[in-house]
Amino acid sequence: MNHTDCKSTPSKKNVPLHSIALVGNPNSGKTALFNRLTGSHQKVANYAGVTVERKEGKMTTDTGQQLHVIDLPGIYSLTPLTKDEEVTQTALLDKTADIPVDLIVYVADATNLKRNLKLILDVIALGHPTILALNMTDLARKRGQIIDLELLQQELGIPVVETIAIESNGIGKLLEILNLYACNGFPANAGSNRYGSEKKSSTLESRRILDNVIKKHADTYTLNQKIDALVLHPVFGFPILVIILFFMFQAVFSWAEVPMEWIENGIGATGEFLATMLPDGILRSLVVDGIIAGIGSIIVFLPQILILFFFILILEESGYLPRAAFMMDKMMSSIVLSGHAFIPLLSSFACAVPGIMATRTIKNPKDRIITILIAPLMTCSARLPVYSLIIGAFIPNRTIGLFNLQGLVLFGLYISGIFAAVMVAWVLNRLLGKNDYQPLLMELPSYHLPRMRNIAIGLWERARIFLIRVSTIIFATSVLLWVLSSYPVPPEGTTGTAIQYSFVGRLGHLIEYIVQPIGFNWQIAVALIPGMAAREIAVSALGTVYALSASGDDLSITLAPLISSNWSLPTALSLLAWFVFAPQCFATLGVIRRETNSWKMMFFAIIYLFGLAYLASLATYHISCFLLDQ
């Protein structure tokens, strides 16, 4: 294929761009290809149903033409059964769409052509210019599969190219065709007459084509089966899942200890240096007590967040997650939910927002609503700084046998969230009426060895998101909170710390009445207000408020020693219980409204979650006061 004779005519403004839609079965590598074409970082993972909404990006061909690329949720047929499949159907069939599709790149998993071929024929029959990208050819080759590409191309009447979407030089052939098409125009799809008009059973047709084009079948992949025999074992399977999760939380504490100490020392030294450099006054207080104390108290948790995501990324890439869902299905369905809820709930451990979006893959509307309502109870990564701060300050860093005590408590908090979710789902199920059990029909992808480069990119992306949050919303709230905590200044000759006379001090003392029964003091009450926007902001807010409340010997940039000397253990435990439930995240509430299309549902979530948070804190505080005799 020669593209050198194409005159380079870069797209001009106002000239509509040609658009390419990536279509195919779930988990065939569409998003990996989209990322490679457009340089984006959309989520890629080894299970079906990762992409649940349309994503758009741009790419420039070698000849300077700009193309509009659309990534779509995976589909099994052109008749949608779930919300995410509807998105793809609309993109392909809606003639009134803003961006009509000029070219379909059908991305097929080459190791599983059998499952793809009927849909390929149906897509060809739509009549759009179409290319077939046979992806994952690296795996197909490794398993000894041989496909006659030339024959497949003839049979289908469309161009067929091999791709390896996860390798930087794995999509050369596809790029060549796109280059050519971008300047010469998209050729008609010759297969559409064949498969569109005859409408002969494409199932029979696909079987015939398969028999012809597959020259050598892949070896039955015994390694997959061996691993499955172990991880899906009726007796050992579940303990293996618990051990994996348990190890993950242990690592969050033990591996992060050293880098956290470095960051803490670095922030402490910066604070002290600036405190000696700047003259005593407003500026020094703003920089040291407002900004450094606020941002510093949250940034130390970066290593823990990255370790947590390291495990999440490995679990996602390896192909283990759907196995875990499969195992949970039997157990969960006997209590409350279908196993379909498992992956959305598991995604919520990273963040409830994509978790709630992933419920689009759940067919049963009632199951979907219940999953949306309990997703905020899964411990998201924004809770980690809060939990970790309190655990670090109150739970001794000891090992009990093989286990780190702090990791054990963290694991307990995650379990509490899961337990609460199961209970709430059970109650909601009773309230909404019993469901018929729908068995989990989920394909188990083959295991992939996670590529460290991809994991590193994924971690970098998390670090970037975290640092952007720190330098924008957390920075802004720290400054705002410093202003509101410093003014009005106390009248002449008063004793005590200035913050008590400020807006924040006064407001805190007002709210204290409401939160006193659950053991919170006014500083916590104040921190919970900006923490409504996002949980981790509560930590930076505590950093600023305590830096300004401290006097004399108490002065310290690090927050943990300050709270451990100021709070009782029941207060700390009560705050932990609060954060298991409280819906302190605007983004989650917004996505609940959007995905359920109902304000009522959002307010229901707010009321029930705050209600549970208050009750849980009340019980925790009083029971622990009683037990500790305080």
Ligand X SMILES: Nc1nc2c(ncn2[C@@H]2O[C@H](COP(=O)(O)OP(=O)(O)OP(=O)(O)O)[C@@H](O)[C@H]2O)c(=O)[nH]1
Q: Token match 């970082």: residue?
A: 41
Tell the smallest beta-carbon distance from residue 340 to ligand X (Å): 14
State yes or no: residue 31 binds Mg ion (CB under 5 A). yes
Strand partners of residue 19: 68
The residue within the footprint of ligand X, chosen from 20, 21, 37, 45 (CB under 6 A), is 45
Per CB under 6 A, the segment of 22-30, 152-160, 375-383, 469-477 that binds ligand X is 22-30
Provide long-range contacts, Cβ within 8 A and 24+ apart, for 272-276. 272/557
Question: 3-class SS at 200?
Answer: coil
Region 47-76 residues binding ligand X, contact defined as CB under 6 A: 48-51, 73-74
582 binds, among Mg ion, ligand X, none (CB under 5 to 8 A by kind): none
Give how many residues touch ligand X by CB under 6 A: 25
Q: Taking the complex as a whole, how short is the minimal distance between the CB of residue 421 and ligand X, in angstroms?
A: 24
Residue in the shown chain whose Cβ atom is closest to ligand X: 74
Rounded to whole angstroms, the Cα distance separating 611 from 495 reads 38
Whole-number minimum distance, CB 166 to Mg ion, in Å?
13
Alpha-carbon distances, residue 369 vs 50, 597, 605 (angstroms): 19, 11, 11
Q: How far is the CB of 243 from ligand X (least distance, A)?
A: 23
Stretch that binds ligand X, among 23-31, 457-465, 505-513, 573-581 (CB under 6 A): 23-31
Whole-angstrom distance, CA of residue 41 vs CA of residue 22: 16
Question: Rounded distance, CA 188 to CA 103, Å?
Answer: 10
H or E segment at 101?
none
Binding residues for Mg ion, rule CB under 5 A, total: 4
Contact 348, 374 (CB under 8 A): no
The number of angstroms, rounded, from the C-alpha of 62 to the middle of its chain's C-alpha atoms is 34
Q: How far is residue 58's CA from residue 20's CA, in Å, rounded to a whole number? A: 10
Question: Is residue 137 within 8 Å of residue 162, measured between CB atoms?
Answer: yes
Name which of 51 and 137 has its Cβ closer to Mg ion. Answer: 51
Q: Near Mg ion by CB under 5 A, which window of 49-57, 95-103, 105-113, 133-141?
A: 49-57
SS3 for 204?
A: helix
- Residues 86-145, interacting with ligand X (CB under 6 A): 135-136, 138-139
Using DSSP's 3-state secondary structure scheme, residue 518 falls into helix
- Number of neighbouring beta carbons within 10 Å of residue 500: 18
Q: How far is the CB of 84 from ligand X (least distance, A)?
A: 8
Does position 574 bind Mg ion by CB under 5 A?
no
What are the CA-CA distances from residue 248 to residues 256, 316, 425 (Å)? Answer: 12, 14, 26
> Which of Mg ion, ligand X, none lies near 61, with the C-beta cut-off 5 to 8 A by kind?
none
**Binding segment for Mg ion among 26-34, 132-140, 250-258, 604-612 (CB under 5 A)?**
26-34
Quick one: what does residue 448 bind among ligand X, Mg ion, none, with the CB cut-off 5 to 8 Å set by partner type?
Answer: ligand X
Site string for ligand X, 398-437 (x = CB under 6 A): ----------------------------------------
Q: Which of 11, 20, 21, 31 touches ligand X by CB under 6 A? A: 31
Q: Which stretch binds ligand X (CB under 6 A): 38-46, 147-155, 285-293, 540-548?
A: 38-46
- Judge contact between 104 and 123, C-beta under 8 A: yes
Ranges of H-type helices in 282-341: 282-284, 293-299, 302-318, 321-335
User: According to the binding rule CB under 5 A, does residue 50 interact with Mg ion?
Assistant: yes
Which residue bears the tokens 């080894």?
A: 46
d(CA 296, CA 314): 29
Q: Least distance in Å: CB of 136 to Mg ion? A: 14
Distance of CA 196 to the CA centre of its chain: 40
Element (H, E) at 570: helix 569-581
Pick the closer one to Mg ion by CB: 30 or 383. 30
| One residue of 20, 23, 37, 44 binding ligand X per CB under 6 A | 44
Question: Closest approach of Cβ 32 to Mg ion, in Å?
Answer: 8
Nearer to ligand X, 147 or 528 (CB): 147
Q: Give the pair of three-digit tokens for residue 596.
A: 């359920």
Q: How far is the CB of 21 from Mg ion (least distance, A)?
A: 13
Q: For residues 103 and 130, what is the distance between their CA atoms, to the nearest angstrom?
A: 6
Under rule CB under 6 A, residue 155 binds ligand X: no
Shortest CB 369 distance to ligand X, Å: 22
- 594 token code pair: 């959007």
CB of 387 to ligand X, least distance (A): 30
Binding mask 448-487 vs ligand X (x if CB under 6 A, - otherwise)? x---------------------------------------
Partner interacting with residue 129 (select from Mg ion, ligand X, none; CB below 5-8 Å by kind): none
Among 19, 51, 189, 297, binds Mg ion (CB under 5 A): 51
Residue type, 571: T
Binding of residue 32 to ligand X (CB under 6 A) = yes
Helix axes 475-486, 535-549, angle to 10 degrees: 40
Q: Which is nearer to Mg ion, 361 or 574 (CB)?
A: 361
Cα dist from 41 to 35, 55, 444, 455, 467, whole Å:
6, 11, 24, 12, 17
* CA atoms within 13 Å, Cβ hemisphere of 292: 24
Q: 26 vs 290, which CB is nearer to ligand X?
A: 26
Binding residues for Mg ion, per CB under 5 A? 30-31, 50-51
Binding residues for ligand X, per CB under 6 A? 26-32, 44-46, 48-51, 73-74, 135-136, 138-139, 164-166, 317, 448
